[in-house]
Amino acid sequence: MNYSQNIAKLQPSATIAVSTLAKKLAAEGRDIINLSAGEPDFDTPAWISEAATEGIAKGRTRYTASSGMPELRRLAAEYMTEGTAHEADPARVVVSAGAKQSLFNACFCLFGPGDEVLIGSPYWTSYPEMVTLARAAPTPVAGNESRQFLLTPADLERAASPAARGLVISTPSNPTGAVYSTAQLADLAAWAKERGVTLICDEIYREIYFGPGARAPGVLDLDPEAVGHVVAVNGMSKAFAMTGWRVGFSYTTIELAMKMGALQSHVSLNAATPSQVASVEGLRRAQPDGGDRKRMLEAFRRRRDLVSRLFDELLPGFPYVKPDGAFYLYFRVDAAFDDEVKTAGALCSRLLEEAGVAIVPGEAFGDARYARMSTASSDEDVEAGVRRMAATLAS
């Protein structure tokens, strides 16, 4: 069978692949601690799930507008622009089947053959694939390791060719947990505006933030006059523990939102209607009732502290990026390389085999010296996972 050039370079998601393998081994009876995919270990808050069930009982089971139910678009606009100088304009929002689809829609509508798209590296594994599916060329750009890999305009200037059309970053970052300050974001946005580059800012971990304030700085916090073309992306998966519901959203210009909505109207139409009903409830209560989300955030912060302490104590030869948000620890593993094990991929296979711990090799994020463990598991699993890794790596 001949396949299209569209998928000539396509690889399955490495994060999903490791976690699927870990689940398979566990189902076969192996003692596996799965610290691979980043998925909150909490159930969706009951009051959100109940809203969906109620909605189904009342027949809210039909198609919606492709860009989402008007009420959800309004609430998402308010959620994303709260406390900013932007008016909450629902026409700028497209609701999609997860932030993943929002990001894909944006890349597919904005980039094409001959375009270069800069990607902050280490990057979330799907960004280069999405850019490549649009037949554009991804260029990973790493910031300085000593600055948590955060990018500066100088880094971008060095890497960009005249064909640069886009810049994709995540803040808080997956995989590092590093967070851009408002001033740092403003610098990147000013560079992008100057170069006519669209800035796609993935803020899916915005609420999972350990710094001051309720959420990490975002691109919509910046002075609208000072930024050019931006797309802010967020969703329900992480902060609301709703990964399987598949609801994400984007905020951008009305024109781009219309194009993304049109694309989606042919590809998948709307995010599942009961999921949208549940998301309305989640966002409606988001401001007054932060109870469940606060509890989850506290757990992520506690595990960040726990894992940092354990690494300092048990794995001093394995430096890590100090996470200020999200729920990962991104650490160097090259101290454990030997004649047989020369890459993070090989080392992670060894850890899975010998220690029964599943983590994601840095190749998935653009750096084979690193690996990423998720802290979105119970405190016990996180601690046992690090102890098992330490025993294997030290042997």
What residues make contact with ligand PMP under the rule CB under 6 A? 38, 98-100, 124, 170, 174, 202, 204, 235, 237, 243, 248
CB nearer to ligand PMP: give 170 or 264. 170
Amino acid at 384: A
Closest CB 125 distance from ligand GLU, rounded Å = 6
Tell me: does residue 264 bind ligand GLU (CB under 6 A). no
- Gap between the Cα atoms of 35 and 328, Å rounded: 9
CB nearer to ligand GLU: give 34 or 64. 34
CB nearer to ligand PMP: give 13 or 84. 13
By rule CB under 6 A, what string of x and - marks binding of each residue 91-130 to ligand GLU? ---------------------------------xxx----
Closest CB 12 distance from ligand GLU, rounded Å = 10
From the list ligand GLU, ligand PMP, none, partner contacted by residue 384 (C-beta under 5 to 8 A by kind) = none
By rule CB under 6 A, what string of x and - marks binding of each residue 29-48 to ligand GLU? --------xxx---------
Indicate if the alpha-carbon torsion angle 64, 286, 185, 141 is positive or negative: negative
From the list ligand PMP, ligand GLU, none, partner contacted by residue 121 (C-beta under 5 to 8 A by kind) = none
- Gap between the Cα atoms of 223 and 256, Å rounded: 20
CB nearer to ligand GLU: give 191 or 245. 245
From the list ligand PMP, ligand GLU, none, partner contacted by residue 253 (C-beta under 5 to 8 A by kind) = none
Q: For ligand GLU, which residue of 34, 66, 174, 270 counts as binding (CB under 6 A)?
A: 174
Q: Which residues make up the interface to ligand GLU (CB under 6 A)?
A: 13, 15-16, 37-39, 124-126, 174
